[in-house]
C-alpha cells in the first residue's frame, strides 16, 4: 500500500507540474525525495520479510 501511495503522490506531482502549479526543479526535487523514500521502504519491507521467516533452530523441537 505504501509503494502505491508513493506512486500516486508522484502522479499528483506530475499533474501539478503539467498545470504549472510547480516548476520542473520542484518536480525533480520531489521525485528525488520519492525515490529515496521508495528505497527506504523497500529496505524495510525486505527486513520484515526476513524477520518473518522461521529460523532452522525454531523448526527443531
* pLDDT tens for each residue of 13-50: 999 999 999 999 999 999 999 999 999 999 999 999 99
Which residue ranges make up each domain of the chain? 2-52
| Residue labelled with grid coordinates 521467516 | 53
Distance from C-alpha of 10 to C-alpha of 8, rounded to nearest angstrom: 5
List of long-range contacts for 40-48, beta carbons under 8 Å, 24+ apart? 41/2, 41/3, 41/6, 42/3
Per-residue CA distances from 44 to 29, 35, 51 (Å): 23, 14, 10
pTM of the model: 0.77
Assigned C-alpha cell, 56 = 532452522
- Strand intervals (E) in the chain: none
Would you state the pLDDT for residue 5?
95
Amino acid at each position: 500500500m505504501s509503494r502505491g501511495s508513493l506512486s500516486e503522490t508522484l502522479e499528483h506531482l506530475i499533474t501539478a507540474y503539467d498545470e504549472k502549479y510547480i516548476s520542473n526543479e520542484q518536480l525533480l526535487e520531489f521525485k528525488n525525495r520519492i525515490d529515496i523514500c521508495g528505497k527506504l521502504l523497500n529496505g524495510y519491507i525486505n527486513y520484515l520479510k526476513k524477520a518473518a521467516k522461521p529460523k532452522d533452530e525454531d523448526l527443531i523441537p
